[in-house]
Amino acid sequence: MMQPTTFEIASYAQYPSHHQAQSLSLAQQSLQLAWSDGHQSEFHYLWLRDNCPCSECVSTLTREQLFEICDVPLDLQPQQAQLQDGYLTILWEDGHRSRYHPGWLRAHCYAEAMRATRQWQAQSWDRDSIREALPEFDYAEVMEDDRALLDWLRLLRDWGISLLRQVDTTPGTLLKVANRISFIRETNFGTVFDVQAKPDANTAAYTNLRLPLHTDLPTRELQPGLQFLHCLANDAEGGESILVDGFRIAEHMREHYPDEFAALSSLPMEFHNKDRHSDYRFSAPALQLNRAGQVVEVRLANFLRGPLDLPADQVLRHYRAYRTFIALTREPVFQFFYRLSPGDLLVFDNRRVLHARRAFDLRQGRRHLQGCYVDRDELLSRIRVLERQG
Amino acid sequence: MMQPTTFEIASYAQYPSHHQAQSLSLAQQSLQLAWSDGHQSEFHYLWLRDNCPCSECVSTLTREQLFEICDVPLDLQPQQAQLQDGYLTILWEDGHRSRYHPGWLRAHCYAEAMRATRQWQAQSWDRDSIREALPEFDYAEVMEDDRALLDWLRLLRDWGISLLRQVDTTPGTLLKVANRISFIRETNFGTVFDVQAKPDANTAAYTNLRLPLHTDLPTRELQPGLQFLHCLANDAEGGESILVDGFRIAEHMREHYPDEFAALSSLPMEFHNKDRHSDYRFSAPALQLNRAGQVVEVRLANFLRGPLDLPADQVLRHYRAYRTFIALTREPVFQFFYRLSPGDLLVFDNRRVLHARRAFDLRQGRRHLQGCYVDRDELLSRIRVLERQG
């Protein structure tokens, strides 16, 4: 007899069965499933045993695994495996029974072709393409409608930039928007930060000076993910925002300056941020690649660099590469200019999009932005939960 | 004339001059400094220009760099360079003048021998060594005395574990201790979490079940750094804490199971943590190495794993490696057992030390811990600031 199975699937997501599992063949360490569309999946016995969703293996309270894969033999074999009503069922040699949902199985197939379809692709941009494609949303809609929220978050994930309009200019409103995603990432600059010229500025953002293109807090191991910049007032002269897609510039470098690209993605730079009460330092390459070689993070702020600490024969190589990147960020073809108006809320991926500001002159008026951060983990979790609703 | 130099050194740290710069020779791209102890330093002109601490190059308000290294030629040359009163002074070909403090120069010399002395080394441990060497501190001392605080934090950084005794058992007291370092790392489990058996548990920690050895929140891109566990009550039967040094086990694997070590440090695992309101996932190898090949992070929780997503020919290799690691965590020689008493505050590096708890039985009494996290960035920043005081 089957033990009582509370869940067909241990997760909360849904896995519609677009394809039927049609036949089964067993080999020494794995079985092969043939699907109605001709696709073939190989599943190793150990992998299958590890993913048994029954209530003995997975807690019905927390949906976390109770079973430990250590506790069965490495060469565990099925005594019997069959397709029943489209489900794969296995009786293991130790008497345990498992039953697998076909939609779940297909979604987790690790054949190369299926793995490739699960790869995320960024949508990169330059001045001309973002002018046409900038994702813009209405504040009220995003606050009230989960469908609009999901649309916004997906575009933000893929383009790395977005603009909300007609946002209430009451201070603190950006938190309400950020909380539509999740909690705020606190940093050494607090939770909400006021971007205003301050007499006791401990960082360049809090002066009226020009800020060159940079990511925020490259001095922290995990740079903040999404940056929110909410404009409350802006009638000072100057202070225009400039944004560039760091991924696009990195790809341009990879193509046209391959050694400079290799240097920036392998040689660590030093990032320092010190004031009277803190002394943050982190060492990492400016460009971080994933295992597939895609650029997944840019880390850069000229004014937060510490003394380079590389083997002597790499020092000039680094400077050549760094200067090439900075020179590219200054190319107008990459630069999206935007003058924030009160009620605008710019949200962008701080680990990808570099931002800058021109100097401003307070004799003509006020300039007050509020900012906060939400991490990538929260963005992606929120998207997944919203997608559960179908 | 020298322009007004506000700082000799752009940072707040002090760099005592233990050695004198004695002579100077200029080459095409760099200069060579000979020190009184015989050490030779090579400094590239571009590196020197980049590190000019004068008030034109570094803001006297924020101590951040205003100068951009992009704005001078790649082959910038000194017109004149000399040693004056122990300082290196340079007149650049564009008329800019720079002056470098000898202690600062020596501390930032990037000769291989000097770079090696700056490498941090973990102090790894097993059951026997930690029984003798467990860093223990008195709560009141750490709260009042900055010297005791610095001693505690350095040992915590190096050993990855420590115990504070006689901590006030008023709920929330752990925040006061954590705030001696800095702010709390908020996660999807909040800022302070209560480790108690709860009827609506969304994770295994909040049940009375046995928890196998794990790190907390491997499902987040940045696992929380320091974990604080403050015991308020513990008279339930069972519930002993077990801790192992993940670095020690990884080193054991590297020596005795080289392919398993290679697999765990290169093949990504999937970590999932889902409940009704969130759906966190992160993919990373269980062991993270730095550029020098040292293990700098362990990421592991049996009960927070998602379905493995590897090329088919790596699946069994992964399971072999994973099972080897887990089997080693179960070896008594690595396990430090400790039964928390009210007033104990265990603080450990969650990215290194795996912790477990035995099942407990609430019929005999209560068990209530409070926990919170503080990240490595905060720990290291605090140590640096305390070290500034000499």
B187 beta partners? B190
Chain B residues within 8 A of A388 when measuring between CB atoms: 279
φ, ψ (nearest 5 deg) of residue A311: -55, 140
Shortest distance, CA A59 to any CA of chain B (angstroms):
9
Per the structure block, which two tokens stand in for B357?
A: 């708890």
Instruction: Give the Cβ contact number of residue B103 at 10 Å.
Output: 19
Measured in angstroms, the CA of B97 and the nearest CA of chain A are apart by 18
Candidate from A185-199, B36-50, B170-184 with smallest mean pLDDT: A185-199
Q: Best interface-test mutation with A: which of B377, B382, B383, B386 has the largest number of A CBs within 10 A?
A: B377
Of the listed ranges A5-9, A168-172, B252-256, B311-315, the least confidently predicted one is A5-9
Give dist(CA B163, CA B156) in Å, integer. 9
A342 with A139: CB under 8 angstroms? no
Q: Which residues from chain B sit within 8 angstroms of residue A64, using beta carbons?
A: 203-204, 303-304
Contact B69 A322 (CB under 8 A): yes
Asked if the model's pLDDT at residue B203 lies above 90, the reply is no
Residues in B touching A201 (Cβ below 8 Å)? 61-62
Residues B188, A207: C-beta atoms closer than 8 Å: no
pLDDT given at position B6: 56
Q: Do B384 and A281 touch (CB under 8 A)?
A: yes
Please answer whether residues B53 and B61 qualify as being in contact, where contact means their C-beta atoms are separated by less than 8 angstroms. no
| Shortest CA distance from A210: residue in chain B | B66
Contact B280 A381 (CB under 8 A): yes
- The residue of chain A with its CA nearest to that of B326 is A70
Query: CB neighbours of B346 closer than 8 A, spacing ≥ 6?
Result: B161, B162, B163, B228, B229, B230, B231, B241, B338, B340
- Residue B64: name the closest of A146, A11, A294, A201 by CA: A201
d(CA B185, CA B29): 45
Percent of chain A with pLDDT over 90: 84
Residues 226-245 of A with CB under 8 A from B: none
Put simply, whether A120 touches B (Cβ < 8 Å) is no
Mutate to test the interface with A, among B300, B350, B381 (most CBs of A within 10 A): B381
Indicate the residue of B50, B279, B326 with minimum beta-carbon distance to A12: B279
Q: Mean pLDDT over all residues of chain A?
A: 94
Q: What's the average model confidence in pLDDT over A7-18?
A: 85
ipTM: 0.95
Q: Is B64 near chain A, with CB under 8 Å? A: yes
For residue A360, name the pLDDT band (cuts at 50, 70, 90): confident
Res B326: pLDDT:
97
- pLDDT number for residue B371: 97
3-state SS class at B327: helix
Residue-averaged pLDDT of chain B: 94
The residues, ordered by sequence, that sit 6+ positions from B362 with a Cβ below 8 Å of its Cβ are B197, B208, B236
Q: Is there a contact between B309 and A110 if contact means CB atoms under 8 Å apart?
A: yes
CA dist., res. A381 & res. B271, Å (int) = 13
SS3 for A109-127 is CCCHHHHHHCCCCCCCCCH
Report the residue of chain A nearest B105, measured CA to CA: A307
Residue B139 has φ and ψ, to the nearest 5°, of -50, -50
By the CB < 8 Å criterion, does A317 face chain B?
A: no
Contact B281 A62 (CB under 8 A): no
Confirm or reject contact between A309 and chain B (CB < 8 A): yes
Does residue B4 surpass a pLDDT of 70?
Answer: no
Mean pLDDT of the region B67-80:
96
Least confident of A28-32, A292-296, B12-16: B12-16
Residue A213 buriedness (CB in 10 A; 0-12 / 13-18 / 19+): buried
B50 touches chain A (CB under 8 A): yes
Comparison of pLDDT for A144 and B360, the residue scoring more: A144
Over residues A159-212, the pLDDT tens digits come to 999 999 999 999 999 999 999 999 999 998 899 999 888 777 888 888 888 889
Residue A36 CB-half CA count within 13 A: 8
Q: How far apart are CA A185 and CA B188, in angstroms?
A: 11
Alpha-carbon distance B209 to nearest alpha carbon in chain A (angstroms): 10
Check A118 against B274: CB less than 8 A apart: no
Q: Which residue of A has its CA nearest to B32?
A: A312
Does residue B27 belong to the interface with chain A, where contact is any CB pair within 8 Å?
Answer: no
Query: Nearest CA of chain B to the CA of A302: how many Å?
Result: 7
Chain A residue closest in CA terms to B325:
A70
Integer distance in angstroms from the first to the last C-alpha of chain B?
34
Is B272 in Cβ contact with A221 (below 8 Å)? Answer: no
Residue A116 has pLDDT above 60, yes or no: yes
Indicate yes or no: CB of B59 within 8 angstroms of CB of A304: no
From B62, B185, B326, residue closest to A70, measured CB to CB: B326
Q: Are A355 and A212 in contact (CB under 8 A)?
A: no
- Cβ-nearest to A74 among B185, B268, B319: B319
Q: Residue range B34-53: average pLDDT?
A: 98
Its pTM stands at: 0.95
Cβ of B323 within 8 Å of Cβ of A74? The answer is: yes
Which residues of chain A are within 8 Å of residue B316 when distances are taken between CB atoms?
A: 29, 44, 46, 74
Q: Is A175 on the interface with B (CB under 8 A)?
A: no
Which chain A residues are within 8 Å of B221, Cβ to Cβ? 222, 375-377
Q: Are A383 and A157 in contact (CB under 8 A)?
A: yes
Q: In the predicted model, is pLDDT for residue B100 greater than 80?
A: yes
Whether chain B has a CB inside 8 Å of the CB on A198: the answer is no
Across A265-294, average pLDDT:
96
- Mean pLDDT in residue range A90-105: 97
Chain A closest CA to B132's CA: distance in Å? Answer: 31
With pLDDT > 70 as the criterion, what percentage of chain A qualifies? 98
Q: Does A278 sit within 8 Å of B182, measured CB to CB?
A: yes
User: Which residue on chain B is closest to A182 by alpha carbon?
Assistant: B188
In this predicted structure, the answer to whether residue B359 has a pLDDT above a threshold of 90 is no
Q: Do B183 and A183 touch (CB under 8 A)?
A: no
User: Region A344-371: what's the mean pLDDT?
Assistant: 92
Token pair recorded at residue B34: 């000979």
**Cβ distance of A275 and B118 shorter than 8 Å:** no
Contact with chain A for residue B59, Cβ under 8 A = yes
Which pLDDT band holds residue A6 (cuts at 50, 70, 90)? low
Q: Note every long-range contact of B329-333, with CB atoms under 8 Å and residues 24 or more positions apart, other chains counting.
A: B329/B212, B329/B213, B329/B244, B329/B249, B329/B354, B330/A70, B330/B213, B332/B127, B333/B126, B333/B127, B333/B128
- Which residues, numbered 266 to 305 in chain A, qualify as contacts with chain B under a Cβ-Cβ cut-off of 8 Å? 268, 272, 274-282, 291, 302-305
Q: Which of A60, A279, A319, A387 to mutate to test the interface with B (most CBs of B within 10 A)?
A: A279
Q: What average pLDDT does the segment A105-134 reach?
A: 96
The minimum CA-CA distance between A98 and chain B, rounded to whole Å, is 15
A71-88 residue pLDDT tens: 999 999 999 999 999 999
